[in-house]
Every structure is written in C-alpha cells, then in structure tokens.
C-alpha cells in the first residue's frame, strides 16, 4: 500500500478494529415485507413535482415510502465527484454496531447486561469518543441513555476505499464470489435479528449540504432539488421563512455496507 492508503487504514489496521465476523449465508434471514412501489413518471409528469407527488400519493401512502425513477433524459449535475470535494473535504463519521440495532443500541443493551468478553480487542488508537447525553429525570430502572460514538474523519475518497476493504473482508469466501444484493440483505437481517458476532461499521450522518454538497447545485432550479422542494407552491413548508437544518436545508448521509438509517416518526412530517 502507498502512503495514502496506509493513512486511511483498512479494517485490520491500527486505526480501525479488525473484521472478525464473517458472512454466514446458511442462516440468512429475509423478512416477509412487501416491496415499496416504484414509479416511472414521463417527462411531462416530472415537470410538476408537487402535482406528481399528489397523483401517486394514494398508491404510495399505505407503504410509507416509495421510489420515483426520473426519466432517462433528466440528468442533474452530481457535485460530490468533483475533485475538490471528493478528495479535499473531510466529514465526521459515527460508529454503528449493527448487531445492537434491534435493541435500540448500543447503550441500552449494555446497561442491562453484565460486561462480557469481546471476541476482538480494540486498539488504543481507535478509542471511541462518546457523545454528550442529556440528563434524564426517570428512575434508574426506567432510564434509557441514547447517544452515539464518534468514528474517524474521512474524505469521500477515503471512505469509499475503507468501505470496499470492509466488504471484501467480511464476505470473503473460498469460492471468491461476491454476494448478490439479496444475499447481502439476508446477511444484514441475520446480524440484526440473530447476531453471533460484533459487526461495527461507520456512517456519516446529518452532514450539512452547504459544506459537502449533494446531488444538486444550490442554483439548480428543478423542483426535485431538495434545496427547492420545501419552498414549492403547494408545499406546507413554503410558509416557513427560516432555514431549518434537516427540514428546509437538506442533510447528506454517507453509508457503507450494513450502515443503517432507522426510520423515525418525525420523518413522516417533513
């Protein structure tokens, strides 16, 4: 490895915990969940964002989520691949223990269980920096502490390299075959529901798009530009004058294999 790669550090480097967990395809789990609907608007339909959303709402609403595939001729600029951003801007990451997601982890489960011997040792150079946690007025029995632990800072280029190293290490097999999307999803749900090992990944969350950028230039006038969507005529948010981060100002998320964004109630209101 060159100097740059050594600094990034693959999953078994001093900067990152080694990946001991491995793919267990025989125990894959796939929840019996209906696929969310996918819509393919025409160019004409795609012109009016709010009108199209209203049109598909009766079909999409029962699922809580849907996917809209733009017409082939629609090609907005993608700023994140610009060299100055891809190689030059670092962002903070969080540590996510995938095996604890089912228990609203990481903190809740660790409070209720006695310390146990971990299957891997953590290096001193990758110690976690706990986030601040608000005080609670509940009793010790009812208290639930929530928070997250900070991971390393990455550029997008560095994060992509690390993510590839992790996935290759985790899914390595004698046959050398890469897992399919279905196999990856089956392994994810096995980890969440019937974990046998610690699986630790990083993800960038709540990143200001003013700094990192996103799939759209801020001056791009399309109604599908998330910088513009809340202000469109017909949107309830168009009456709000301030720039509310995460509501009127989009956030950027950067994930790797097994990174998880858990859906919360407030997402239904924005």
Q: Look at residue 110 in the predicted model and tell me its pLDDT.
A: 44
Q: Where are the domains of the chain?
A: 3-24+78-114+145-269
**What are the CA-CA distances from residue 170 to residues 13, 52, 187 (Å)?**
15, 41, 11
Q: Look at residue 92 in the predicted model and tell me its pLDDT.
A: 92
Q: Look at residue 153 in the predicted model and tell me its pLDDT.
A: 93
Predicted confidence (pLDDT) per residue in 127-182, tens digit: 444 443 344 444 444 444 445 789 999 999 999 999 999 999 999 866 677 899 99
Mean pLDDT of the chain: 77
d(CA 121, CA 103): 23
Characterize the bridge pairing of strands 154-155 and 251-254.
unpaired
Structure tokens at 58: 């009766």
**Strands (E) located in 117-267:** 129-130, 149-150, 154-155, 200-208, 251-254
Count of beta carbons in the 10 Å neighbourhood of residue 182: 10
Rg (CA), the chain: 21
- Cβ neighbors of 52 (< 8 A, separation 6 or more) are 41, 45, 46, 68
Mean pLDDT, consecutive 10-residue stretches, the chain (270 aa), reads: 46 61 86 90 95 96 93 83 85 92 57 45 40 41 57 93 92 79 93 88 86 69 85 85 79 92 69
For 3-24+78-114+145-269, CATH number out of 3.30.70.20, 2.60.40.420, 3.30.1010.10, 2.60.120.650 equals 2.60.120.650
Which bin fits 152, alpha (ψ -120 to 50), beta or left (φ > 0)? beta
d(CA 102, CA 260): 11
Structure tokens at 129: 């920096």
Structure tokens at 143: 């208290």
């Amino acid at each position: 490895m060159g100097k740059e790669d050594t600094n990034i550090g693959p999953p078994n480097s001093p900067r990152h915990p080694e990946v001991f967990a491995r793919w267990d395809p025989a125990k894959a789990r796939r929840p019996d969940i209906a696929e969310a609907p996918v819509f393919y608007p025409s160019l004409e339909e795609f012109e009016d964002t709010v009108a199209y959303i209203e049109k598909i709402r009766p079909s999409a609403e029962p699922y809580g989520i849907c996917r809209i595939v733009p017409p082939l001729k629609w090609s907005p600029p993608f700023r994140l691949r610009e060299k100055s951003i891809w190689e030059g801007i670092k962002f903070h990451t969080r540590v996510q223990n995938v095996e604890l997601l089912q228990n609203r982890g990481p903190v809740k489960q660790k409070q209720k269980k006695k310390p146990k011997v971990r299957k891997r040792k953590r290096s001193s150079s990758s110690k976690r920096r706990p986030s601040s946690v608000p005080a609670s007025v509940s009793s010790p029995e009812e208290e639930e502490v929530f928070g997250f632990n900070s991971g390393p800072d990455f550029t997008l280029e560095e994060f992509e390299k690390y993510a590839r190293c992790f996935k290759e290490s985790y899914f390595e097999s004698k046959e050398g075959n890469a897992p399919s999307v279905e196999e990856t999803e089956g392994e994810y749900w096995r980890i969440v529901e019937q974990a046998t090992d610690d699986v630790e990944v990083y993800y960038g969350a709540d990143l200001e798009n003013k700094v990192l950028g996103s799939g759209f230039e801020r001056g791009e006038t399309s109604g599908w530009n998330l910088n513009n969507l809340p202000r469109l005529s017909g949107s309830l948010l168009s009456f709000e004058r301030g720039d509310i981060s995460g509501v009127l100002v989009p956030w950027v998320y950067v994930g790797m294999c097994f990174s998880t964004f858990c859906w919360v109630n407030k997402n239904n209101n924005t």
